[in-house]
């Protein structure tokens, strides 16, 4: 990832937040998740991290097996 | 006079004729047959019915309406694209099996009665098993057997349900919408169908077998079995609440296991389960919009999932490897493969202007419309996980992440593989930009557009920050490990140990102890039998009776006899 890659992503995020602030939220698009400006930013970041942590830290110790586990 | 042929017939006849054609033109014939089928499916008029009389039943071998047509189109199309992708394969067995498999899928799709449906259903099971066996490794053989067993079970349940259903007074064999309160028969049928839809806890066959199939076989497998099941669910079981619950669980279940998977086709297989979850849940919601969402998502999904399996197949074909831990740094050598794969990855992740964006969101919106917010959020979480595994983890650790390991040899892929991929990729983008082309094929008219400001904002923020979290944790936590995961079998492998300790072992011990005691007693008895004197003699004892050693002195015997005589005499005299 080069610097300008990150710049594009940052610009996209800022644009999306501004667009969210400027637009009207009419029913049925007036829930918390429609109106709170960075809701989906948090959802994406926390959701992704939570999935990784849950799978790798909680589930993996229980179900990871060596590749020849079934062979005997 | 029949003016149209049922589409499944073309494929079936093709499958039978193919082995008799010269080897050189078989691949061309395969593509030609599937193309003809596609034309027939596209142009066959609504309401066309083809019936045959078998004994007392009149079977409806083909019945066309909008729902069956849209599934028929995508099945025929993907079989054709798969044929181009597999053009270099000169193995008649695989080619014929693929045609029978696709023919079976079309047969189910256009079946007008439950018997016809069941017959095609079983043909699919058998033909698809061959595509796993054709890999010709021990692992593939074993996985094929397990796969077949699962589908024989599913077919059996479906058939049992059908027989019970038509046994009811006044029932007909025609396919119709069933309701949950119609008794055991419909639940048996549902069970048979959800096995094919890989609904947990009946999903293990999919993630087990698909990664072990042949390179080209997996492409066909990814398209037909689960999606014919989705078709039957949409046709027969719309609006069943249990499907809503199971489908929503599926979306997240597949995603979590894909995070742990190391085999690239294993990751994709778990994402079939996740994606089919959207369709199953959409059918469970049951509104016109939700069914449209489910059906359009099935259509989009078949396109991009086949493309994903094609991309992973090229990697396997050219390197012989399919584990992320053994791959890496292929980017420079496989630029075209990478970008074609990424079209599918962007599609499945729901990037704007790719076909996942226009179909997945319809199902999610339908859940929101019915105020099923927990469904909506779990589906969105699954979308995050989809981008994470299919859009980021798999391509990053396959084509980038490090320099190519020196021992990793990369062959050139046959040109036709890329042509097949490009055709599918073209439609992924086309439908993403012009969703109307897909929407006009749907069973009910669509008054909904995916291109709204809310939807764009949501998608951009989710995708950018899923990427950010991936980048942050990619080496810290997400790095692939050379392990396999237990799945459903955890439930009988792990508790099996506890069960053994609590229930089996104590009995085992008790029986062992008893056995030991009995044997010891028997041994002792035998010893005593050999020499009863051992019971009395003190000091040295010998195992066997020897008259020389143990014979008592004559005097002792005389005294004993005399004593006995006196005793008897005494009793005899005193008893009067």
Domain ranges of chain A: 3-66
B315 and B427 in a common domain: yes
Output the pTM of the full model: 0.87
Question: Per the domain annotation, does B493 fall within a domain?
Answer: no
* Regions of chain A where pLDDT drops below 50: none
Interface residue ranges in chain A relative to chain B, Cβ cutoff 8 Å: 1, 9, 12-13, 15-17, 19-20, 23, 28-29, 34, 38-49, 51-57, 59-60, 62-67, 69-70
Closest residue of chain B to A5, computed from CA coordinates: B464
Provide the number of structural domains found in chain B.
Answer: 3
pLDDT digits (tens, 9 = 90+) for B253-296: 999 999 999 999 999 999 999 999 999 999 999 999 999 999 99
Pairwise CB contact (< 8 Å): B466 & A52: no
Within 13 A of B202's CA, how many CA atoms are on the CB side? 19
Percent of chain B clearing pLDDT 90 (strictly above): 79
Q: Could you tell me how many CB contacts below 8 A there are between chain A and chain B?
A: 127
CB atoms < 10 A from the CB of A31, how many? 14
pLDDT digits (tens, 9 = 90+) for B190-228: 999 999 999 999 999 999 999 999 999 999 999 999 999
B384, A29: Cβ pair inside 8 Å?
Answer: no
Name residues whose C-beta falls within 8 Å of residue B512's C-beta, 6 or more positions apart in sequence. Answer: none
Using 50, 70 and 90 to split pLDDT, how confident is the model at B502?
A: confident
Residues from chain A that touch B256, judged by Cβ atoms under 8 A, are: 51, 54-55, 59
Q: How confident is the model at residue B546 (pLDDT cuts 50, 70, 90)?
A: confident
Mean of all residue pLDDT scores within chain B: 92
Residues B481 and B536 in one domain: no
Q: State the Cα–Cα distance between residues B190 and B267, nearest whole angstrom.
A: 27
Last residue of some domain: B202, B237, B272?
B237
Among A34, A44, A54, the residue with its CB nearest the CB of B466 is A44
Contacts of A62 in chain B (CB under 8 A): 486, 490, 494
For residue B354, what pLDDT is reported? Answer: 96
> What was the ipTM of the complex prediction?
0.94
pLDDT digits (tens, 9 = 90+) for B400-451: 988 888 888 899 999 999 999 999 999 999 999 999 999 999 999 998 999 9
| pLDDT for res B557 | 84
CA distance A3 to chain B (A): 14
Q: Which residues of B touch A48 (CB under 8 A)?
A: 384-385, 388, 465-466, 469-470
SS3 assignment for B309-322: HHHHHHHHHHHCCC
Higher pLDDT, B486 or B546: B486
Are residues B260 and A41, on separate chains, in Cβ contact within 8 Å?
no
d(CA B222, CA B305): 7
Q: How far is CA B471 from CA B236, B260, B402, B475, B521, in A?
A: 44, 17, 15, 8, 72
Interface test with B, best of A14, A51, A56 (most B CBs within 10 A): A51
Residues B211 and B268 in one domain: no
For residues B516 and B412, state if they share a domain: no
Q: Which domain holds residue B405?
A: 241-488
Q: Are residues B512 and B455 in the same domain?
A: no
Residues B231 and B315 in one domain: no
Cβ atoms B281, B244 nearer than 8 A: yes
What pLDDT sits at residue B540? 56
Q: Per-residue confidence at B306, pLDDT binned at 50, 70, 90?
A: very high
Q: Do β-strands B483-485 and A64-66 pair in parallel, antiparallel, or remain unpaired? A: antiparallel
CA distance, residue A4 to nearest chain B CA (Å): 14
Please check whether residues B100 and B210 belong to one and the same domain. Answer: yes
Question: Which pLDDT belongs to residue B491?
Answer: 81
**pLDDT-based confidence at residue B469 (cuts at 50, 70, 90):** very high
Residue B332 lies in a domain: yes
């Amino acid at each position: 990832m080069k610097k300008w890659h990150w710049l594009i992503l940052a610009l996209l995020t800022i644009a999306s937040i501004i667009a969210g602030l400027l637009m009207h939220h009419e029913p049925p698009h007036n829930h918390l998740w429609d109106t709170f400006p960075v809701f989906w930013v948090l959802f994406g970041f926390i959701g992704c991290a939570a999935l990784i942590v849950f799978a790798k830290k909680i589930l993996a110790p229980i179900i990871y097996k060596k590749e020849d586990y079934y062979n005997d | 006079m029949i003016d149209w042929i049922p589409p499944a017939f073309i494929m079936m006849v093709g499958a039978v004729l193919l082995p008799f054609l010269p080897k050189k033109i078989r691949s061309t014939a395969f593509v030609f047959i599937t193309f003809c089928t596609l034309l027939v499916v596209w142009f066959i008029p609504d309401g066309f019915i083809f019936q045959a009389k078998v004994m007392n039943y009149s079977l409806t071998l083909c019945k066309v309406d909008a729902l069956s047509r849209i599934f028929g189109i995508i099945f025929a199309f993907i079989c054709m694209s798969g044929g181009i992708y597999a053009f270099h394969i000169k193995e008649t067995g695989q080619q014929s099996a693929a045609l029978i498999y696709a023919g079976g899928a079309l047969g189910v799709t256009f079946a007008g009665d439950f018997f016809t449906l069941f017959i095609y259903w079983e043909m699919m099971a058998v033909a698809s098993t061959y595509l796993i066996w054709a890999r010709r490794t021990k692992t593939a053989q074993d996985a094929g057997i397990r796969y077949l067993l699962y589908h024989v079970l599913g077919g059996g349940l479906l058939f049992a349900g059908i027989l019970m259903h038509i046994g009811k007074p006044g029932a007909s064999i025609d396919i119709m919408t069933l309701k949950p309160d119609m008794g055991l028969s419909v639940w048996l049928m549902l069970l048979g169908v959800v096995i094919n839809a890989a609904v947990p806890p009946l999903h293990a066959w999919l993630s087990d077998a698909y990664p072990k199939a042949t390179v080209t076989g997996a492409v066909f497998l990814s398209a037909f079995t689960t999606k014919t099941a989705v078709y039957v669910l949409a046709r027969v079981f719309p609006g069943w609440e249990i499907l809503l619950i199971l489908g929503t669980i599926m979306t997240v279940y597949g995603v979590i296991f894909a995070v742990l998977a190391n085999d690239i086709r294993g990751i994709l297989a778990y994402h079939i389960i996740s994606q089919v979850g959207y369709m199953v849940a959409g059918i469970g919601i049951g509104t016109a919009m939700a069914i449209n969402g489910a059906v359009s998502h099935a259509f989009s999904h078949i396109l991009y999932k086949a493309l994903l399996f094609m991309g992973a197949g090229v990697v396997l074909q050219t390197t012989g490897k399919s584990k992320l831990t053994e791959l890496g740094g292929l980017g420079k050598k496989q630029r075209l493969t990478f970008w074609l794969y990424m079209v599918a990855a962007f599609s499945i992740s729901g990037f704007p202007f790719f076909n996942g964006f226009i179909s997945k969101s319809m199902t999610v919106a339908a859940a929101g419309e019915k105020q099923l917010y927990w469904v909506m959020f779990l589906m969105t979480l699954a979308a995050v996980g989809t981008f994470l595994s299919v859009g980021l983890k798999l391509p990053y650790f396959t084509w980038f992440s490090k320099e190519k390991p020196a021992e990793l040899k990369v062959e050139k892929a046959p040109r036709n593989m890329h042509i097949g991929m490009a055709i599918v990729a073209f439609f992924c983008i086309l439908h993403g930009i012009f969703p109307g082309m897909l929407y006009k094929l749907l069973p009910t008219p669509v008054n909904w557009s995916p291109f709204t400001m809310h939807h764009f904002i949501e998608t951009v923020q989710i995708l950018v920050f899923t990427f950010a979290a991936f980048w942050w944790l990619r080496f810290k936590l997400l790095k692939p490990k050379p392990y396999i995961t237990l799945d459903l079998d955890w439930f009988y492998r792990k508790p099996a140990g506890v069960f053994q300790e609590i229930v089996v072992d104590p009995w085992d011990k008790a029986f062992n102890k008893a056995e030991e005691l009995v044997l010891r007693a028997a041994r002792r008895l035998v010893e005593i039998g050999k020499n009863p004197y051992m019971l009395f003699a003190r000091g040295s004892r010998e195992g066997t009776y020897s008259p020389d050693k143990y014979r008592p002195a004559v005097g002792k015997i005389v005294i004993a006899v005399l004593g006995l005589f006196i005793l008897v005499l005494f009793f005899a005299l005193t008893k009067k």
